[in-house]
A and B are shown apart, each in its own frame.
Chain A
Amino acid sequence: MNTEKRFLFTLCLCLFFSYKTSAQSTYQVGGLPSINLNYKLKNDWSSNFKIESRQLLQRGMFNSDSNRNYEYILTDFSLITAKKVGLNSRISGGYLLRFRDGNAIHRLIQQFAVTQILPRFRLAHRVVTDQTFLPAEATEYRLRYRLATEIPLNGQSADPKEFYLKISNEYLNSIQNSDYDLEIRFVPLLGYAISEKHKIEFGLDYRVNSFLDQYARHSFWTSMNWFIEI
Chain B
Amino acid sequence: MFKYVFAGIIMILFASCSNQLYAQQKYEKESRLKENETPDQALDFIDSLEVGSRIRWYLEEGLERTSIEAKFKLNNQKHSIEFDTVGNLEDIEIQMKWRELQKPLRDSISFYLGEDCEKFKIRKVQIQYSGDRSILLTKIKTGESTDSYIVRYEIVVKCVNTKNVSLFEYLFSNTGKKLAISQIVFKNSSNLEY
- Chain A residues with CB under 8 Å of chain B are 33, 35-36, 38, 43-44, 46, 48, 50-51, 53, 55, 72, 74-75, 80, 82, 84, 86-88, 90, 99, 111, 113, 115, 117, 122, 124, 126, 148, 150, 154-160, 162, 166, 191, 194-199, 201, 225-229
B31 and A196 within 8 A (CB): no
A194 partner residues in chain B, CB cutoff 8 A: 21
Q: Which of B162-194 contact A (CB under 8 A)?
A: 163-167, 186-194
A83 to chain B, nearest CB (A): 11
A176 to chain B, nearest CB (A): 24
Q: B40 near A: Cβ within 8 Å?
A: no
New A-B contacts (20) at CB < 8 Å, excluding given A113-B192, A196-B187, A228-B13: A33-B10, A38-B194, A43-B163, A44-B164, A46-B190, A48-B190, A51-B6, A72-B2, A75-B2, A75-B6, A80-B194, A84-B164, A115-B192, A124-B192, A124-B193, A154-B32, A160-B29, A162-B31, A166-B192, A197-B24
A35 partner residues in chain B, CB cutoff 8 A: 9-10, 13
A115 and B193 within 8 A (CB): yes
Where chain B touches its partner, the secondary structure class is mixed
Nearest first, the 5 A-B pairs at minimum CB distance are A124-B192, A195-B24, A75-B2, A159-B29, A155-B30
B191 and A75 within 8 A (CB): no
A36 and B191 within 8 A (CB): yes
- Chain B residues with CB under 8 Å of chain A are 2-3, 5-6, 9-10, 13, 17, 21, 24, 26-32, 58, 158, 163-167, 186-194
A58 to chain B, nearest CB (A): 17
B17 and A228 within 8 A (CB): yes
B191 and A199 within 8 A (CB): yes
B2 and A53 within 8 A (CB): yes
B21 and A195 within 8 A (CB): yes
Can you name 16 A-B pairs with beta carbons within 8 Å?
A35-B13, A38-B190, A38-B194, A44-B164, A50-B194, A80-B194, A84-B164, A87-B166, A88-B186, A111-B193, A154-B31, A155-B29, A159-B29, A159-B30, A160-B24, A196-B187
A43 partner residues in chain B, CB cutoff 8 A: 163
- Of the candidates A48, A87, A198, the one having the most CB atoms from chain B within 10 angstroms of its own CB is A87
A166 partner residues in chain B, CB cutoff 8 A: 191-192
A227 and B190 within 8 A (CB): yes
A155 and B31 within 8 A (CB): yes
Q: State A218–B157 Cα separation when bound (angstroms).
A: 46
A197 partner residues in chain B, CB cutoff 8 A: 24
B14 to chain A, nearest CB (A): 9
Q: State A115–B188 Cα separation when bound (angstroms).
A: 10
A88 partner residues in chain B, CB cutoff 8 A: 186, 189
Q: State A37–B127 Cα separation when bound (angstroms).
A: 42
Contacts A55-B3, A159-B30 given: A36-B190 contact, CB under 8 Å? yes
A154 to chain B, nearest CB (A): 5
A36 and B158 within 8 A (CB): no
A99 partner residues in chain B, CB cutoff 8 A: 2
B21 and A156 within 8 A (CB): no
Contacts A87-B167, A117-B186, A155-B58 given: A198-B17 contact, CB under 8 Å? yes
